[in-house]
A and B are shown apart, each in its own frame.
Chain A
Amino acid sequence: MVQYNFKKITVVPPGKDFIDIILSRTQRQTPTVVHKGYAISRIRQFYMRKVRYSQQNFYEKLSTIIDEFPRLDDVHPFYGDLLHVLYNKDHYKLALGQINTARNIIAKISKDYLRLLKYGDSLYRCKCLKVAALGRMCTVIKRISPSLAYLEQIRQHMARLPSIDPNTRTLLICGYPNVGKSSFMNKITRADVDVQPYAFTTKSLFVGHADYKYLRYQVIDTPGILDRPFEDRNIIEMCSITALAHLRAAVLFFLDISGSCGYSIAQQAALFHSIKSLFMNKPLVIVCNKTDLQPLEKLSEEDMKLVMEMKAEAMKTIAQGGEPNEEGVLLTMSTLTEEGVMSVKNAACERLLDQRVEVKMKSKKINDCLNRFHVALPKPRDSKERPPCIPQAVLEARADAAAAKEKKKLERKLEKDLENENGGAGVYSASLKKHYMLANDEWKEDILPEILDGHNVADFLDPDILQRCEELEREEGLRLEEEVAQEAFQIDGHELTEEQREILGQIRKKKALIIQEHRMKKRTAESRPIVPRKFDKDRKFTTNRMGRQLSSMGIDPNAAVDRARSRGRKRERSLSRAGNDGDDMDIDSQQPNKKLRALSRPRSRSKSRPPEEVVPGEGFRDSDQKKKAIKKAKDSVKKRNKEARLNQYDCLIDITGSRKERVKKSLSIQS
């Protein structure tokens, strides 16, 4: 805060230096090279940038000065007055005002010249404009350089001002010069103030800190005040007057009762009375110093009277709530012998604290922190009973209430007691239905089934369910009647008779047969050898026919027929046997031979042929010839097949003759 931290104000450079700083910065931070061959817009931009940059920097620096210096109106009146006393408020304001105007002027200059630069048509002209602009800005600064110097001086002085917090607990020490204020200050704080025999050793305010009851107090040492009319006071005195006037502190008015300061008690008393108006609302303590030289009791009558007058005044300033204790008002001490120093300090601190607490209690803020207070009760120092005083009526009322409560408790039996009686927690389970509110109390212990036949009973619960059920049954009855009527009506529909159904069955059978035949026809002849079509278009070559012909020739046809049949029939299962199950036995007799082939069925085993039997046919004379032919065919293929089954790692061992026999033997032994 600017309030008490004047040390943080930036240095105000003197006028010349200010100009130098800004101009050198402009030169460094903006581009420096420009040629007349560049595009005119580029040249213009170059110079405009320089002008703008300088203006901005001037503006910034001057703004910081204006902002950082405290505004006397915004600051605590103590500081405001102090600064006024020290530096003259008007001069101060003027200086800052000048800075402000300089800033505005510079801004205007830059605006004007930027506008002009926009229309500069050659490098030389732009350059001249820029030079003019910067020159004017610098002149402005030169003109305000005295203000800058003045502000710099102020700044230096302000930095050395003591950092006084105007709002905290403060003890203010005042009195004539040389009465022993600074020595007192040195005694109670760590401040090292100059103590010299000449007057006005202390030329300004000094701040020290002292502790009392875990709180920190500022102790302000003021320069001595002389008894002069207000207007004649010099700056130093005005400092202390300001402090007295604005700081809410406890005032310690120092009296030198020995007179070794060079002023009599009368003079000091006169001073006191002249500035007592400043002691309004401040706890005042009158301190008689230098008692080692002149004890208070041995004072002369007049002096005593004066002192008592002062004391009377001081009494008036006691805080209203406090007790008028005379000890806290007039105190004696000697800083040399350090006698009574501490008591003075304590008294002053105490007075100040009381006053501040009182003020706080009266303010509204107290309510915020009231709940943080805790009242600690004292430890009894003796065994004497000191009970709080309660009126009799209250005691009676309390007793009645207690009795009622007891009675109520006895009446009701707790569930817990019930549980304990009946065997404890694990044994007794409380009946939760005890307090049910039902229409009939007998129903309390009823067990209600929740599920019935895969339905939730709760979903069906309805007070008028009987009625609805009856309705439903009536409905159902009606429906059933309707149904019966409908069925009766439907019975004489289009129903097929027995005969018709038989015919339909035949039709279907026929259809199925046609389909089968078609499917048969679709099959090729490769899988089963049949008489090729060119020989048997009409399916004339049947075994029956052959049998007839043979028997007409006189040969028994059965063997031949069997053999033919075994070759001609399909061996797969039949595709459809619908309607044919009953007809299996009658295949040969009733149905034509084409049907024989069409009706494929699995062969019965009674007519099977052993696998090695070779049947004559295929152009051979007899079975033997055929066998030989088959053997030859196999031999020709044998070697090739064997080689085919070998892989590259198999080696062929050529075993011939007796070796073959030996190998065979060994193999048989092994196996």
Chain B
Amino acid sequence: MRLEKCWFCSSTVYPGHGIQFVRNDAKVFRFCRSKCHKNFKMKRNPRKVKWTKAYRCLHGKDMTQDSTFEFERKRNRPERYDRNVTEQTLKAIPLITKIRHERQKKHITNRQKQGKTKERERDAKELEQDIQMLPKKDVMLSTQKTKVVVKVSQQQTEENLMEET
């Protein structure tokens, strides 16, 4: 029993779900549900359909290249059963998947961070430019300098003058 990938949206097809289409050139297309199947029949390119994984990976929305993907590789030759290896594998799979999920999340947050910086810049710019719209008395910026009168003794000013000359 194998979990397959839907050809259109790249989600997993569990046993008992979906449709498999075999073309005359012996290429097999698996679909997870009729939505993908119908899209395929309409000859839509999954790389152009926004909600598919193909689109997302192509446009850099999701993580594409990572070392965690190397762990999962389809092998064509069957391996002889070894209990120890299997135990280790079964233990390792959740760890690997956890790491992969973390990395995917990080990828997305990184992507979105760029938007945040842009927003901040925009706000800063807007603040700078459009602050003139508000009447001056309403705006009290800490950065603005207020006039403070400081009394300076006579002696000090004379001393300064002396130094200058």
**Which residues of A come within 8 Å of B, CB atoms?**
436-440, 442-443, 446, 448-463, 465-466, 468-469, 472-473, 475-476, 479, 483, 493-497, 499-500, 503-504, 506-507, 510-511
Contacts and interface: CB of A to CB of B under 8 A. Distances in A.
A469 B72 CA distance: 12
A494 B120 contact: yes
B25 to A, nearest CB: 26
Contacts of A458: 2, 75, 78-79
A440 B142 CA distance: 78
A453 B85 contact: no
A436 B83 CA distance: 14
Given A443-B81, A472-B68, A499-B141, A456 B89 contact: no
Contact of A440 (B1, B12, B83, B134): B83
Contacts of B124: 494, 496
A453 B100 CA distance: 13
A504 B79 CA distance: 65
Interface string B70-107: 01111100111111011011101111110100110010
Contact of B130 (A466, A500, A511): A511
Contact of A462 (B68, B83, B85, B121): B85
B127 interface: yes
Contacts of B138: 506
B127 A459 contact: no
A453 B90 contact: no
Contacts of A510: 133-134
Contact of B2 (A440, A449, A456): A456
A453 B95 CA distance: 12
B1 A450 contact: yes
Given A459-B74, A510-B134, A446 B85 contact: no
Given A440-B83, A450-B2, A483-B106, A473 B88 contact: no
B73 A459 contact: yes
Nearest to B72: A459
B131 interface: yes
B120 to A, nearest CB: 5
A500 B92 CA distance: 50
A511 B127 contact: no
B3 A493 contact: no
B144 to A, nearest CB: 11
Contact of A468 (B71, B94, B103): B71
B148 interface: no
A469 to B, nearest CB: 5
Contacts of B96: 460, 469, 472
Interface residues of B, number: 48
A510 B83 CA distance: 72
Contact of B86 (A439, A461, A497): A461
A468 B92 CA distance: 10
Contact of B123 (A475, A504, A511): A504
Given A476-B99, A503-B141, A460 B127 contact: no
B126 interface: yes
B78 to A, nearest CB: 8
B67 A452 contact: no
A448 B81 CA distance: 9
B117 interface: yes
B86 A469 contact: no
Given A457-B89, A459-B75, A462-B71, A511 B2 contact: no
B26 interface: no
B22 interface: no
A467 to B, nearest CB: 10
Nearest to A443: B83
B81 A438 contact: yes
Given A462-B85, A469-B96, 16 more contacts: A450-B1, A452-B90, A455-B97, A456-B3, A456-B74, A461-B89, A472-B68, A473-B99, A476-B99, A476-B102, A493-B120, A496-B123, A499-B140, A499-B142, A503-B134, A503-B141
Contacts of A463: 82, 85
A107 to B, nearest CB: 63
A224 to B, nearest CB: 83
A449 B130 contact: no
B1 A460 contact: no
A88 B68 CA distance: 105
Given A460-B92, A465-B88, A455 B134 contact: no
A507 B134 contact: yes
